[in-house]
Structure 1
Amino acid sequence: MRREHSWAPRGARAVGKRAMGHWKTVSIVGAIRIGSRPLLMTHRGAINGRVFLRFVRQRLVPWLRPGDVVVMDNLNSHKMVAVRAAIEAVGATPVYLPTYSPELNPIELLWPHLKRGVRALRTNTEEELRSVLRRLRCSVPVAHIAAWFRHCLSQAQLN
Structure 2
Amino acid sequence: MKIIATKEPQNLVYIDESGIDNTEDYPYGYCQKGQRFYALKSGKKIQRISMIAALNGRKIAVPLTFEGHCNMDIFNKWFEQFLTPILEPGQTVILDNATFHKSNKITELAKGVGAEILYLPPYSPDFNKIEHHWFAIKNRARKNIPLFTSFRHAVDSAFL
TM-score after normalising by structure 1: 0.70
Q: Secondary structure at the match of 1:114?
A: helix
Q: Secondary structure at the match of 2:143?
A: helix
1:117 aligns with 2:117: no
Q: Which shifted more, 79-88 or 117-126? A: 117-126
Write the letter of the residue equivalent to 2:28.
S
**Residue correspondence of structure 1 range 92-131 to structure 2 within 5 A:** 92-122=115-145, 125-131=150-156
1:3 aligns with 2:50: no
- Give the whole-Å Cα distance in 1 for the aligned partners of 2:58 and 2:159: 17
- The alpha-carbon distance between structure 1 residues 129 and 36, as it changes in their structure 2 partners (threshold 3 A), is same
- The alpha-carbon distance between structure 1 residues 118 and 130, as it changes in their structure 2 partners (threshold 3 A), is closer
Q: Which shifted more, 80-89 or 121-130? A: 121-130
Structure 2, unaligned runs of 5 or more: 1-20, 33-40
Deviations 1:29-83 (A, max 9, x none): 1101026443210111110000000110000000100000000001011111111
The count of corresponding residues between Structure 1 and Structure 2 is 128
Q: Compute the RMSD of aligned alpha carbons.
A: 2.6
Residue 90 (structure 1) aligns with: 113
Identity among equivalent pairs (%): 25
1:68 aligns with 2:91: yes
- The alpha-carbon distance between structure 1 residues 87 and 69, as it changes in their structure 2 partners (threshold 3 A), is same
Residue 15 (structure 2) aligns with: none
Residue 142 (structure 1) aligns with: none
Write the letter of the residue equivalent to 2:26.
E
Question: Contact between 2:94 and 2:118, CA under 8 Å: does it hold in 1?
Answer: yes
1:46 aligns with 2:63: no
- The alpha-carbon distance between structure 1 residues 53 and 118, as it changes in their structure 2 partners (threshold 3 A), is same
Structure 1, unaligned runs of 5 or more: 11-17, 136-159
Residue 52 (structure 2) aligns with: 29
Q: Secondary structure at the match of 1:43?
A: strand
Q: Secondary structure at the match of 1:91?
A: coil
Q: Secondary structure at the match of 1:32?
A: strand
Residue 18 (structure 2) aligns with: none
- Give the whole-Å Cα distance in 2 for the aligned partners of 1:9 and 1:47: 40
- Give the whole-Å Cα distance in 2 for the aligned partners of 1:107 and 1:116: 15
Deviation at 1:130, TM superposition (A): 4.9
- Give the whole-Å Cα distance in 2 for the aligned partners of 1:101 and 1:118: 26
Higher helix share: 1
Deviations 1:99-150 (A, max 9, x none): 0000000110110110111111126524423541332xxxxxxxxxxxxxxx
